[in-house]
Every structure is written in C-alpha cells, then in structure tokens.
Amino acid sequence: MTTRRVFILQSVVGTSALASGMVMAAAPMVDEADGAAKGLGYVADTTKADAKKYPKHAAAQMCSNCALFQGKAGDAAGGCPLFAGKQVTAKGWCSAYAKKA
Ligand code: SF4
C-alpha cells in the first residue's frame, strides 16, 4: 500500500515537473538580427526603433497594443503571426505595427 502511494506521488510530481518544463520551453524570442526581423525593422524595445527609417513610428506604439500581438494583456511577450513559432516582446515594435482597435 505504501509503495503504491509513493509510486502515485512520484507520478504526480513527475507529471507536473514535465508540465512546468514545457512552459519553460515556450517559443524562443525573435532575434533582432534575424533576416525577417531586420526586414521589418523589429526591435525588442520600441524606443530603439530606427526613427530615420520609420518616421511614422511613435514611442507609444508597441507590440502589446498592436492588432497582431497574440499575447494577453500584461504578458511580457507573445506570439506574432509575422514571426511564426517565435515570440516578440510586449514593448517591441516593427514596421508592420497596426494599432489595436
Ligand atoms: S506586427 Fe505588431 S506584434 Fe508583430 S512584431 Fe510588429 S508591432 Fe509587434
């Protein structure tokens, strides 16, 4: 009986460790140096956007208030369909920015 309980306990612990491991292995962040990121002028910090190249950029524009951002409000990072399989920072920006309605 005791052995069985220990076994169940170990299974539960093992499963939750696996689950948290999966959360930690979330999609990687977009690298500003990536070809696709460079092409779109993506920066992880909206204040670092190239003002000369993108004169319409404003500091208030950021991924977290972009219509394409897939993260939830308050998330530090989230998906973006322009960078499939990767995450952009909530305070990032790219030239495809579209204000969330
Ligand atoms: S499209 Fe929007 S969410 Fe995606 S990287 Fe550009 S600004 Fe961020």
Instruction: Report the predicted TM-score, pTM, of the whole model to 2 decimal places.
Output: 0.77
Pocket test for ligand 1, best of 38, 43, 88 (most atoms within 8 A of CB): 88
Residue nearest to atom 6 of ligand 1 (CA): 94
Compute the distance between CA of residue 53 and CA of residue 39 in angstroms, rounded to an integer. 12
Does the Cβ of 69 fall within 6 Å of ligand 1? yes
Cα torsion through 73, 77, 82, 85, rounded to 10: -120
The pLDDT tens digits along the chain (101 residues) read 455 555 544 454 444 444 444 445 689 999 999 999 999 999 999 999 999 999 999 999 999 999 999 999 999 999 999 999 999 999 999 999 999 99
- CA of 67, closest atom in ligand 1: 2
Task: Find tokens 């495809």 and name the residue.
Answer: 96
Q: Which two tokens stand for residue 56?
A: 């319409």
Domains of the chain: 27-89 (4.10.490.10)
Q: What does DSSP assign to residue 9? A: H
β-partners of residue 29 are: 87
Question: What is the pLDDT, as a whole number, of residue 52?
Answer: 97
Q: What does DSSP assign to residue 30? A: P
